[in-house]
Structure 1
Amino acid sequence: MNAVPAGSEQEERAELDELARLLPSGPVEQVLPPGRRSHHKDVLMQLIDHDHARDRDHARDHARDRERSGAGSPVRSRPWLARPALVAGSVAVAVALAAGLTVGIGAGRGDGGTAARPGASSTADGTAGGSRGAVVTLDRIAAVALRTDVEPVGDGQFVYVRSRGAGNEGVFDGPVELGKMHERQVWFSQRQGPVTDVGLIREYGQDWPIEIGVPDGTDPEDAAVPAGFDRPTYAWLASLPTDPDALLKLLYADTRVEEGEDKDQEVFGRIGDLVGEQIMPPETAAAFYKATARIPGVTEVADAVDAVGRHGIAIAREDTRYGTRTEWIFDPGTLGYLGVRTVFSRDTERAPAGTVYDTSAVLERAVVDKSGQEPGARRRVERG
């Protein structure tokens, strides 16, 4: 890379071009639900910006030291993209996003964050978990889920979800601009064994394979991902404990966060991903909802609107770091799942309170036999 003045527009453009060359050519974010997709995009960009600023600080300090020692004119440190460790880390995050994995930026560094008491049961007033209203509503939702007939999904089949939504398309860290509403279809492979071909997304008029990135020189079998929280299948979900305390303990143990991040919020988000875009046994769904009632900070919102204008009650949790609130929206009559949205819970530099950051409405869930196959009436399952 040619040397250019540190911090110049040319340097930033060169770095962006280099990053674009290294990252996958497909839409690396599209597999995640809108709220999680936007969150991980922001986290990745914050890491890049933080590292870029750190390099400039190092260059400034190094130049000052050289001037003080009479070593001559300042020299600039290497461009941050030239450091293999950062390049590998950035690509790893992007590949994880492309694969639809739940990215814990602090993975491998220990628990970090603010750990809750996952084994504690909620009391009637919600002191050990969510608010009283949320606990009562989640118990009702769990009861409905437990009574719902769900067709088991075979190992060679695919879970199909059709939704409609939009996300923030404004500049990074700038004012929020909600994009155009559009339809999204996704097919998730149900193969239990480790796979690199996870599924398919149909969005913006194109089909995008969901694949695990295989680094050069790596055996694809070594890069394959088995069924688990990061690649759930019906059979794997059926193997989870249906005791809410045991399930929540497992979730907290499997969730890694960066130091200072809110672990309760991350666990809430992971459960939201599962109930929002999967098909699971009734007992498992009920356990997830009851487990959610035990997460501190979970509340109920009396009226929320999904991406297609349907009103419902919401189970929500606020991320106080960003001033946003994630809401799972349920039909007020049937208590079936409608969708999810993220709104600003307070005024910020990016948007006033009440601004929608992203929104998605589930229109259909089904079981199909092939990737890319749209469901027929025979395999259509309940919506929500």
Structure 2
Amino acid sequence: MTDRDPLDELISDLRTDVPELSDEAFAASRARLQTLIEAVPVTTGPQPDAAVVPLPRKRLLRSPPRRLITSAAAAVVLAAGVLFVQAVRSDSPAPAASAAATLNSAADNINPVDEPIEPGQYRYIASHSRGLGHHLTAHADGDDTGPFIALDEWTHEEWVPADLAQQCVARSHATGREWVVGDEERAKAAGIEPLSTEVHEEVKPCTGSGDWSRYPSAEFLESVTRDPRQLYDLLRRKPMPVAMSDASWVMNRVGATLTSGRAPADLRAALYRALALLPGLEVTERVANLDGHQGTALGLTEYGVRHDLIIDPATGQYIGERTVHVSDDSDLPPGTIVSYTSVSNPVVVDAVGATR
């Protein structure tokens, strides 16, 4: 006689020689499962055109904005009663599980070999930014002191040599300004200089802080682990206390590194897989259009503002990032894009000034 439970008998008959499941195998199995259970993609129509939306004067934006728009600028915009907005489609976001599946698919589809670059050649990286800026400068004796709010557009070009220890050449210039509050004539009378389209060139070191930034060093990029779980843990580490959640910290570090155009293919793939582990990340738009390039938007929402990274899952190409207001507790319509940056795929060129 024995009082051994029948379930114990069954378990004892199972194989015991199966090796322990590794993190990589677990991640791969989960990605395959998520792909199978992923919801049917939502089809989208063309994105609506930008519009100027009048807003009541009495309410202020209560959600703390991030990145290119400051709290002061937001308050001035709303107090003036008008704001330039561009709405993102308002469909419900896809299931959270699809964010990981999309990122793992993009990682699988990245070309594992970057375009070769020889000594004396450069990687040409171009980006286009658009965001709200505020101008409060006026003549001391003038009657019109503003406020003045404009939507400014900039193009940034960079030539990065094969050896990052050498100097980089960066050129930037404004490509347009659209007045949201005020106009060019009033701004000129108030002492605000017109937007200069002059090209600003800067020759500078290719590396800044050397780590998670738009100017990482070659040594840092080479030394970073490619293991997704270890990389995720590394991304979460903060060198000092900052007023930012772990999730936002990770998103900002990944976005800066991808925008730099310096991360090699295997690191880009690892960053996608690490980002797939981020809680709260979701597919916010299946077909997102950024400067004519289409991809999938993956967003993290905090304090009524969403930070999207946009990638092409079919090729693994990083397209850019944007900041979207999503709260419905203010006069700013949900879906308003307050800033974005699009990035062109780096190409190898023979000289500074060449673009192909």
TM-score bucket (shorter structure): 0.5 to 0.7
Q: Given that residues 317 and 325 in structure 1 are in contact (C-alpha distance below 8 angstroms), is that contact kept between their aligned partners in structure 2?
A: yes
Q: How do 1:116-195 residues align onto structure 2 when only pairs under 5 Å count? A: 131-145=96-110, 147-153=111-117, 158-170=122-134, 179-188=151-160, 191-193=163-165
Following TM superposition, by how much is the alpha carbon of 1:133 offset from its aligned partner in structure 2, in angstroms?
A: 1.1
Q: How far apart are the structure 1 equivalents of 2:150 and 2:306?
A: 16
Residues 327, 226 of structure 1: CA spacing in aligned structure 2 closer, same or farther, 3 A cutoff?
closer
Paired residues of 2:112 and 2:266 also in contact (CA < 8 A): no
In the alignment of these two chains, the number of paired residues is 236
Q: Given the superposition, is the C-alpha separation of residues 264 and 332 from structure 1 closer, same or farther in structure 2, using an over 3 Å criterion?
A: closer
Q: Could you say what secondary structure the match of 2:250 adopts? A: helix
Residue 50 of structure 1 corresponds to which residue in structure 2? none
CA distances 1:165-220 after superposition (whole Å, capped 9, x unpaired): 31122469x99967254533123456555x8x5541322241231647xxxxxxxx
CA distance in 2 between counterparts of 1:176 and 1:143 reads 47
**Structure 1 residues 348, 277: CA separation in 2 closer, same or farther (over 3 Å shift)?**
farther
Matched, 1:293 2:276: yes
Q: Trace 1:259-298 onto structure 2 (pairs within 5 A).
A: 260-298=243-281
Superimposed CA distance per residue, residues 315-352 of structure 1 (whole angstroms, 9 cap, x where no aligned partner): 111132xx211112233654532222111111355722
Which residue number in structure 1 is paired with residue 353 of structure 2? 373
Instruction: Give the whole-Å Cα distance in 2 for the aligned partners of 1:186 and 1:149.
Output: 22
Q: Alpha carbons of 1:360 and 1:177: their partners in 2 closer, same or farther (altered >3 Å)? A: farther
Gaps of 5+ in 1: 1-37, 47-129, 213-223, 377-384
Find the aligned partners of 1:293 and 1:249 in 2 and give their Cα distance.
13
Q: Is contact 2:295-2:310 (8 Å) kept?
A: yes
Q: Could you say if the C-alpha distance between residues 306 and 165 of structure 1 is closer, same or farther in structure 2, counting changes exceeding 3 Å? A: farther
Determine the structure 2 residue equivalent to 1:249: 233
Q: Deviations over 1:238-284 (max 9, x none)?
A: 332110122222222355442x4213202211101212331432221
One-letter amino acid of the structure 2 residue matched with residue 207 of structure 1:
H
TM-score by length of 1: 0.52
Structure 1 vs Structure 2 CA RMSD? 3.6
Which of the two has greater strand per residue? Answer: 2
CA deviations over 1:149-175 (Å, ceiling 9, x no partner)? 312556765432123331122469x99
CA contact (8 A) 2:164 2:218 kept: no
8 Å Cα contact 2:236/2:249 also seen in 1: no
Aligned to 2:224: 240
Q: 1:367: how far off? A: 3.0
What SS does the corresponding residue of 2:70 show, helix, strand or coil? helix
Aligned residue in 2 for 1:80: none
SS in 2 for 1:179: strand
Partner of 2:342 in structure 1?
A: 361
Contact 1:311 1:331 in 2 (8 A): yes
DSSP-derived class of the 1:241 partner: coil
- Give 1:69's aligned residue: none
Tell whether 2:297 aligns with 1:314.
yes
| In 2, Cα distance between equivalents of 1:155 and 1:270 | 29
Residue pair 1:198, 1:211 contacting (<8 A) in 2 also: yes
Secondary structure of the residue aligned to 2:334 is coil
Aligned with 2:212: secondary structure? coil
Q: How does 1:76-155 map to 2 (within 5 A)?
A: 131-145=96-110, 147-153=111-117
CA contact (8 A) 1:153 1:235 kept: no
For 2:41, the equivalent position in structure 1 comes to none
C-alpha distance in structure 2 between counterparts of 1:171 and 1:296, whole Å = 38
Pair 192,313 (structure 1): closer, same or farther in 2 beyond 3 Å: closer
One-letter identity of the residue aligned with 1:168: L
Query: TM-score, normalised to structure 2's length?
Result: 0.55
Shift of 1:144: 0.9
Residue pair 1:141, 1:335 contacting (<8 A) in 2 also: yes
Residue identity over aligned pairs, in percent, reads: 23
Larger proportion of helix: 1
Residue equivalent to 1:81: none
Does the 8 A contact of 2:69 with 2:133 survive in 1? Answer: no
Mapped partners of 1:157, 1:235: distance in 2 = 19
Judged with a 3 Å threshold, the aligned counterparts in structure 2 of structure 1 residues 292 and 200 are, in CA distance, closer, same or farther, namely same
Residue 201 (structure 1) aligned with residue 171 (structure 2): yes
Shift of 1:234: 4.9
SS in 2 for 1:242: coil
Match of 2:67 among 31, 39, 43: 39
Q: Indicate if the aligned counterparts of 1:153 and 1:190 stay in contact, CA closer than 8 A.
A: yes
| Maintained 8 Å contact 1:185/1:202 | yes
Give the match's secondary structure for 1:284: helix
CA separation of 1:285 and 1:179: change in aligned 2, threshold 3 A: same
Is 1:351 equivalent to 2:332 in the alignment?
yes
CA contact (8 A) 1:304 1:311 kept: yes
Partner in structure 2 of residue 105 of structure 1: none
**Higher radius of gyration, 1 or 2:** 2
Match of 2:15 in 1: none
2:10 is matched with: none
